[in-house]
Amino acid sequence: MMSLERFEDLAEIYGGDIARWPEGEREAARALLASEAGRLTPVLAAAAQLDRLLDLAPAQSPDAALMGRLISAAPQPAGGGRRWIAGLSAALGLSAAAFAGVLVGVTAGRPAPMAAPVAVTTAAEPVVTAVDTSAALQDAIAEPAAL
Amino acid sequence: MASDGNDPDEVLLAGVSRGEPAAVRQLLDRRLPRVLALARRMLNDPGEAEDVAQETFLRAWKQARAWKPGGARFDTWLHRVALNLCYDRLRRRREIATDAPPEQVDTGPAPDAGLMGAEVSRRVEAALAALAPRQREAIVLCHHQGLGNIEAAALMEISVEALESLLSRGRRALKASLADLRGTGG
């Protein structure tokens, strides 16, 4: 059985919504509220007043520029470079594997493409903002097969 | 802070690690607003909040390929990173502002006297900003971010009792500073 004092403490600590109180104490709190509604309903109402004020503290919505920067900076598909390599090497008359080997040798800090050649599909969702070269490439290529 | 194996972000994170644009977009839609709101309420500065949110997700992108399913929940990890970045900035402010008062939100009259809601919002933001940082962190995590007490306490690396003490003191301070607004909140 929860004490009246504990109920009042919980309202002061967690606010006027019992659903946001510690899970293990909610049932006892509701039972106490049912039997002491006259005394405890005002306690909850007072705590809920502060909750409503707190809800007015400004949040912030992400703007398109921030979304665009983060989308552009996200990891690129592992096979992303491979299609580009295949296209370029074909133009130069080299095998894709040989050309990739040359590139891997000179491209420090970028992992070698490991995935098998992938099918070209339409990107599931268009990237809408701040598209740079890498993002455009990302849109143009397929998602790799399951790892 | 191990997850229960049902981290709702794990599938998306795997997609991010494979460079799937849809997964990136969906994860941002789901988590960026919360991170941004957390930073905004902790720092009381929209520009700095955006910087923190950006840095948090840049770290997330680096982490995506190394993420181990079944460990800490991704959302918890994000909160921790964002909070640490907020604390770095709050610490820097304290070091810089030796003789100047810390930057506060403008609490003067609203440009339009009819903007009652905006004025109340500014007052609440200022009251939050005036709290001790750990009290503010506890209130932002539990009230605004909707975290449970156990998760918030773990994130703050304190006991549930200590969290409750911070919440209680923080809410009492807010009640006192917003006493004239009681009844305004809806």
Yes or no, beta carbons of A77 and B18 under 8 Å apart: yes
Question: How many CB atoms are closer than 10 A to CB B53?
Answer: 28
DSSP count for chain A of H helices, then E strands: 7, 0
Cβ atoms of B89 and B43 closer than 8 Å: yes
- Which ranges of chain B would DSSP assign to H, the alpha helix? 10-17, 21-43, 46-64, 74-96, 116-130, 133-139, 149-156, 160-177
Q: With H, G, I as helix, E, B as strand and everything else as coil, classify residue A78.
A: coil
> In terms of CA atoms, which chain B residue is nearest residue A75?
B19
- Contacts (Cβ under 8 Å, ≥6 apart) of A72: A130, A131, A132, A134, A135
- Please state the domain extents for chain B: 7-101, 114-185
Cβ atoms of B13 and B64 closer than 8 Å: yes
Report domain B114-185's class.
mainly alpha
Successive 10-residue mean pLDDT values, chain B, 186 residues: 68 93 96 96 94 97 87 90 95 71 46 64 94 95 95 94 98 95 63
Question: What is the reported pLDDT for B97?
Answer: 63
* CB-side neighbour CA atoms (13 Å) of B19: 24
Report chain B residues whose CB lies below 8 A from the CB of A14. 142, 149, 167
Yes or no, beta carbons of B21 and A139 under 8 Å apart: yes
Yes or no, beta carbons of A70 and B50 under 8 Å apart: no
pTM score, whole prediction: 0.71
Question: What is the reported pLDDT for B7?
Answer: 84
Yes or no, beta carbons of A50 and B171 under 8 Å apart: yes
Q: What is the pLDDT along chain A (147 residues), one digit of tens a residue?
A: 899 999 999 999 999 999 999 999 999 999 999 999 999 999 999 999 999 999 999 888 999 999 999 999 999 886 654 444 444 444 444 444 444 444 444 333 333 333 333 333 333 333 333 333 333 333 332 333 222
Shortest Cα distance, chain A CAs vs residue B124, angstroms: 5
* Total residue length of chain A: 147
ipTM: 0.81
> In terms of CA atoms, which chain B residue is nearest residue A54?
B124
Pick the CATH number of B7-101 from 3.40.50.300, 1.10.1740.10, 3.40.50.2020, 1.10.3720.10: 1.10.1740.10
Question: What is the reported pLDDT for A53?
Answer: 95
Yes or no, beta carbons of B117 and A56 under 8 Å apart: yes
Yes or no, beta carbons of A61 and B36 under 8 Å apart: yes
Which residues, numbered 91 to 110 in chain A, qualify as contacts with chain B under a Cβ-Cβ cut-off of 8 Å? none
B63 interface with A at CB cutoff 8 Å: no
- Contacts (Cβ under 8 Å, ≥6 apart) of B23: B11, B12, B13, B14, B15, B16
Which DSSP category does B12 fall into? H
Chain pair A-B, CB pairs under 8 angstroms = 149
Do the two domains B7-101 and B114-185 of this chain adopt the same fold? no
| Cα dihedral B98, B99, B105, B109 in deg (nearest 10) | 170
Distance CA(B147)–CA(B141), nearest Å, equals 6
- What are the backbone angles phi and psi of residue B72, rounded to the nearest 5°? -65, 150
